[in-house]
Amino acid sequence: MKYTDVVTNTEVYGMESAVKGSKYPMAVDLNKVDGNVVPRTHALANAKPGSGHDNFLNGILVQFDLTFTNKAWVEMERYHFIDFISSQSTMHRITKFNLDEVYISYTDPRIIEIMKEKVAAYNDLQKVISDKKIAGEDVSELSEQAKEKYLEILYSNPAGFRLTARMTTNYRQLKTIYAQRKTHRLPEWRAFCDWVETLPNASFITNIG
């Protein structure tokens, strides 16, 4: 799996100002402080996580589109300093996706076929409800059936279903993620860490002391 399969549309902000800020503790005249990366910058960035010396990494912000399966998203949510800007939604659109395209290759094809059957049955029922409404007929019972079928779809959807979200985080959080996930069993996490290695001054993240 390539990192472009999981991360796209990357933007990095605040690199120069964060590097400049990392020099404040040793500065007397702030007018002489610049944003150039020097050996001390690397030493601070590569400090042991939790030591506080790498705090300037909080100021280097990263935004990107992340496409993960349900399985990987659950694990991503353990991190406190990575936020969802917005995301695709199974709750709203599960019956509209092309199910031949949205599942990772490790998803059992038999399960995908079951999902396609359930979605087709729901969409057929919705068509019946729409036609009966136009005809002025009572559809309350059918509407309840549709709600139940929709819940069946949501709860039957396997962990291999992929969704894309716009994310925002910082280099310090990525440093933690990289250390914990670079050899992870899920190929998505390894691809994510490959992407981290492509970021500007990625050694701030990857060369952990």
Asked if residue 114 lies in contact with residue 156, where contact means CB atoms within 8 angstroms, the answer is: yes
Handedness of CA 185, 189, 193, 195 (dihedral sign): positive
Asked if residue 163 lies in contact with residue 74, where contact means CB atoms within 8 angstroms, the answer is: no
- What is the reported pTM? 0.91
Asked if residue 128 lies in contact with residue 145, where contact means CB atoms within 8 angstroms, the answer is: no
Q: What is the pLDDT along the chain (209 residues), one digit of tens a residue?
A: 999 999 999 999 999 999 999 999 988 988 899 999 999 999 999 988 878 889 999 999 999 999 999 999 999 999 999 999 999 999 999 999 999 999 999 999 999 999 999 999 999 999 999 999 999 999 999 999 999 999 999 999 999 999 999 999 999 999 999 999 999 999 999 999 999 999 999 999 998 65
User: Which pLDDT value is given to residue 38?
Assistant: 94
User: Which pLDDT value is given to residue 159?
Assistant: 96
Q: How far is CA 134 from CA 120, 124, 128, in A?
A: 21, 16, 10
User: Which pLDDT value is given to residue 208?
Assistant: 64
Q: 69 pairs with which residues across the strands?
A: 162
User: Which pLDDT value is given to residue 52?
Assistant: 83
- Cα atoms in the Cβ-side hemisphere of radius 13 Å centred on 181: 24
User: Which pLDDT value is given to residue 49?
Assistant: 80
Q: DSSP labels for 159-183?
A: TTBEEEEEEEEEHHHHHHHHHHHTT
User: Which pLDDT value is given to residue 106?
Assistant: 96
